[in-house]
Chains A and B, each alone.
Chain A
Amino acid sequence: MAKREYAFYPGCSSQLRGSAANYLVSVNSMCDKLDVKMTQIPDWNCCGASISYAGSSELARHVLSARNFALSDKHLPGQDIVATCAACWLGGRETIEKLDASSQLLADTNEALKEAGLEYKSGTAIRHMVEVLVEDLGYEELGKPVVKPLDGVKVAGYVGCQTNRPFGIAGESFENPLYLDKLIETVGGEALSKYEEKVSCCGGSLAFCEPEKAEKQIKNIVESAYDQGADVICTPCPLCQANVEVYQSEINRKQGTKLNMPVVYYSQLLSVAYGGTLKEAGLDGHIIQPKKLQDIAVKVVPAKR
């Protein structure tokens, strides 16, 4: 039996053929090594993200999150829900907060959910994967399975917005959260603590509809990593990862820059350090190749005596 068990809410982008498909792969491999069992919530639905406000009502968005909670409670009772996506986690946290504060909203949500034969009962906890790592397991425990320390890899920890604000990780500051740097150091990498764009916004979903404005953000995020001598940017958010990696070529095309900075997830760092292969760590899922990490992943570890 696994040491720890959670109800897993992977979110849309992590699905097979999705833009963060390699995130899910690396999370699975990381959890495997940490003896953490994640069971997907059966028939989970989209959280509505932060962008659906024009098309939807506030209540409809709560219904989306509450349906996932109800399904989790029904099929995986007693387990905390773990989200890997920043927006999924944030949306869920907002729903819990609002429904706890208003019995009217709770009743309305349940009136709607009844149409799907479900009921949401208060008391659900939704947590980000990072919270599970740093709170439930702790840095010491996370360091134990390391077989390939990320020696000499300089990592710019890019926390971004939604795992940091408005809820954030307990005990961390909004302006300079340290958990990502600590995670990087736990697996032997060098955390660039002077990285200036740690909590800047990548433009989020507005990269789609206001690309020029988002590209200005992304350029700063990448250039600041270069300023610090980074080999790679690391983030806990699938949208940050996609935006910051994918649009570098567009910025190069428009502005004649030569940005070519790989962007990976914290789970990929951990997975590689725990001995995960290229595939297991999802390192075959990049447009800009994280060369240094790939080199470590293919390296054979001498067997322990």
Chain B
Amino acid sequence: MGDLNQQMLDKYRNNFLHEVEEKVDDGEWVKMCMQCGVCAGSCTFGPDWEHTPQKIFMMIRAGKREEVLSSHSMWLCTSCYNCMVRCPRELPITHIMHGLASYAHRLGLAPKNQPTRDFSLIFWENCTKTGRVNELRMTISVYFREGFVSGVKKMWTLRNIGRGLFFAKRLNPLELFVSHGCKDKDGLRRALKKADEIEARRRGYEVQPRGYSS
């Protein structure tokens, strides 16, 4: 993956805006930003971002490639779409944030142990395994992602919530053994594998192995 980053550096040299336009989902919109700042002021986790969307857009134009792609900021998007509906130029800001985060991950530049990135990967693996989300297994994977001891601690802290959900019939240990899923999960996984191949072809990447073949 480090190689892909070098390839892109060589290809786009100092033109990061052009790279974003070609490689990032909805990246062609970035140049339309007029720096009004409504997105920054509308963002749910805005106060927690190091770089608000407004700043990210300016940094892209200023060629601050490394700083943008290794930023934690895009990973704080909650997909609330507030920025998107308020943007006077109608930029699909939410999609651009997701696209930047996804691209940063693909290049291996996303911050290590970024919690949202890790959760996103766990979610995708979980939902594509059988075709449907297994909430219990997903939760366990998220809590144990930093090791066994910290996982046990987290589960212990949240035990009352777990018990409450169990008695409300909204969580069941049975899910560890029997999972909901698609009957044709193999067909689904073949289709997803194909989608990755097509995406790689279109964007000029190598296919990232994801283990869809069951």
Contact = CB atoms under 8 A, between A and B. Distances in A.
A26 to B, nearest CB: 13
A52 interface: yes
A206 B116 contact: yes
Contact of A55 (B124, B168, B195): B124
A213 B132 contact: no
Given A210-B115, A213-B45, A12 B180 contact: yes
B170 to A, nearest CB: 5
Contacts of A62: 195
A35 to B, nearest CB: 27
Interface string A188-227: 0000000000001101111011100110010000000000
Interface stretch (A15-23, A132-140, A147-155): A15-23
A67 B182 CA distance: 11
Contacts of B193: 115
Contact of B120 (A51, A165, A247): A51
Overall SS of chain B's interface: helix
Contact of A46 (B25, B110, B133, B174): B133
Nearest to A161: B80
A238 to B, nearest CB: 10
B21 interface: no
Interface of B: 25, 44-45, 48, 76, 78-82, 84-86, 94, 98-99, 101-102, 105, 110, 115-121, 123-125, 127-128, 131-133, 135, 139, 142, 158, 160-161, 164-165, 168-172, 174-175, 180, 182-184, 187-188, 190-196, 198-199, 202, 210
5 contacts: A54-B110, A54-B124, A162-B80, A249-B164, A286-B168
Given A174-B85, A201-B44, A204-B78, 9 more contacts: A50-B79, A55-B120, A63-B195, A109-B195, A116-B191, A162-B80, A166-B84, A203-B45, A210-B45
